[in-house]
Amino acid sequence: MEEERELQTADFLIVGGGIAGVSAAARLAQHGRTILLEAESSFGYHSSGRSATYYHFGIGKSVVRGMTAFSRAYFETPSASGTALSPSPALFIAPPEMLAGLDVLEADMRPYSDGLERLDADAVRDMVPVLRCGGDGIIAAVLDRTARRLDSEALQQDYRAAIKRAGGQSIAGASVVAIEREGANWIATTAAGDRFSAPIFVNAAGAWCDEIARLAGVVPLGLQPLRRTIIVFDAPSDQQTGDWPFTKTAIDDFYMLPESGRLLACPVDEVPSEPTDAQPEEYDIALAAAKTEHYTSLAVRRISHSWAGLRTFTHDRIPVAGFAPDAEGFFWLAGQGGYGLQTAPAMAAATESLITGGSWPTGLADWGVNQVDLAVERLQIGQI
């Protein structure tokens, strides 16, 4: 009979080593012993490692934009890994049928960015010469000069270093297969038989958050993972593409950005999926190429690489941070969708406040983000 492993105890036990989990762990580790468990062999393997890694105000509702604005100060603070942000404007383009959508987007972004500029077709063409402009093509755009490129790996390294400095542990290859409540503590058992105990259990498992809840006997939230695909192809040899902005349609349909001498393109697909190691489908790869050729004069002759990732949302597309009403000590940190990286510092600060009982971060309130906006109770609760 196999001997039962020694129980490892902590004050905070976090499941999920994506950006949500590591950022929250870095904060909580300052308040008590923290153990972070990641199922994969490396951290940030799924959504956090497959993002376009941009910081901009062109996605999400006002709560998301407020958390994005709050997070900027953290990103701009130099660390051992350097600064996580690098200048790279975002260009939101509109053909005639998207012009009304561009107007709405500009109005929504304006309270959060002082770097917006309205461009006509000629100015758009000057910035990205391959875009199809004029006539039925792109006739207007909004340029956001406050947008930045994020370094997701540097963020991961910084957060894990902070966990270690505070005496916490980050453990990869620790797939949780059983969760139970014993007295005042949650006990998590991994596939390897290791056991971990803490009174506070933080569910930051991304697309697997509802599955983790079911293991714990907690009512799930009805989270929906959605698959998104990106293709990589050679940039035109006669163009200097390195300075091109992140370019996205005003209404979710297409985006493109330069990357290491090549171009990335996405059809902004949202395909419902089960929690899984997402892989690109042939149809979505072809759709990305077709949309690239629709919005630009580029011919996508050879796709050098493609990948897919899951973006997991709550029904109202606002992340959730709060204790489950049906399970003492079980904390939800979920539904970051496509903005997990750019809102991570804000979500971590909110998590720290809610778990430790500290004051709500003044900066979040200043940007119009309050505890009730992220509360579990606002969601339609499903069934186990």
In a domain, 327, yes or no: yes
DSSP for 62-107 reads HHHHHHHHHHHHHHHS-BTTB-SEEE--EEEEE-GGGHHHHHHHHH
- The encoded tokens of residue 7 equal 């129980």
In a domain, 54, yes or no: no
Q: State the total domains in the chain.
A: 2
In a domain, 69, yes or no: no
164 & 306 share domain: no
pTM metric for this prediction: 0.93
The DSSP letter of residue 138 is B
356 & 237 share domain: no
In a domain, 84, yes or no: no
Indicate which CATH number applies to the domain containing 163: 3.50.50.60
In a domain, 101, yes or no: yes
Residue 323 burial by CB count (10 A; 0-12/13-18/19+): exposed, middle or buried?
Answer: middle
Give SS3 for 326. Answer: coil
269 & 203 share domain: no
115 & 234 share domain: yes
Tell me which amino acid residue 307 is: W
Nearest to 58 by CA among 108, 24, 97: 108
Nearest-angstrom CA–CA distance, 349 and 357: 12
In a domain, 60, yes or no: no
135 & 184 share domain: no
309 & 241 share domain: yes
Q: Which residues pair with 358 in a beta bridge?
A: none
In a domain, 351, yes or no: yes
- The encoded tokens of residue 266 equal 């996405």
Tell me which residue range forms the domain holding 374: 7-49+152-222+317-378
Q: Do 208 and 176 contact (CB within 8 A), yes or no?
A: no
Q: Which of 290, 313, 336 is the last residue of a domain?
A: 313
| Alpha helices, DSSP H, located in the chain | 19-28, 62-76, 99-109, 121-127, 152-165, 209-215, 282-295, 340-356, 362-366, 371-374
The DSSP letter of residue 131 is B
In a domain, 184, yes or no: yes
Give SS3 for 123. Answer: helix
368 & 333 share domain: yes
Q: Which of 281, 313, 345 is the last residue of a domain?
A: 313
373 & 324 share domain: yes
Nearest-angstrom CA–CA distance, 95 and 188: 52
CA 25 from chain centre, in angstroms, equals 16
171 & 300 share domain: no
228 & 217 share domain: no
pLDDT at residue 43, rounded to an integer: 74
pLDDT at residue 44, rounded to an integer: 63
Indicate which CATH number applies to the domain containing 123: 3.30.9.10
243 & 298 share domain: yes
Give the up-direction half-sphere exposure of residue 100: CA atoms within 13 A in the CB hemisphere: 1
pLDDT tens for the chain, 384 residues long, are 345 678 999 999 999 999 999 999 999 999 999 999 999 877 766 444 446 678 999 999 999 999 999 999 988 886 644 556 678 899 999 999 999 999 999 999 999 999 999 999 999 999 999 999 999 999 999 999 999 988 888 888 899 999 999 999 999 999 999 999 999 999 999 999 999 999 999 999 999 999 999 999 999 999 999 999 999 999 998 888 989 999 999 999 999 999 888 999 999 999 999 999 999 999 999 999 999 999 999 999 999 999 999 999 999 999 999 999 999 999 999 999 889 999 999 999 999 999 999 999 999 999 999 999 999 998 855 444
Nearest-angstrom CA–CA distance, 189 and 351: 24
Nearest-angstrom CA–CA distance, 93 and 69: 22
Q: Which of 313, 332, 364 is the last residue of a domain?
A: 313
- Sign of torsion, CA 196 202 206 208? positive
218 & 322 share domain: yes
Nearest-angstrom CA–CA distance, 207 and 226: 9
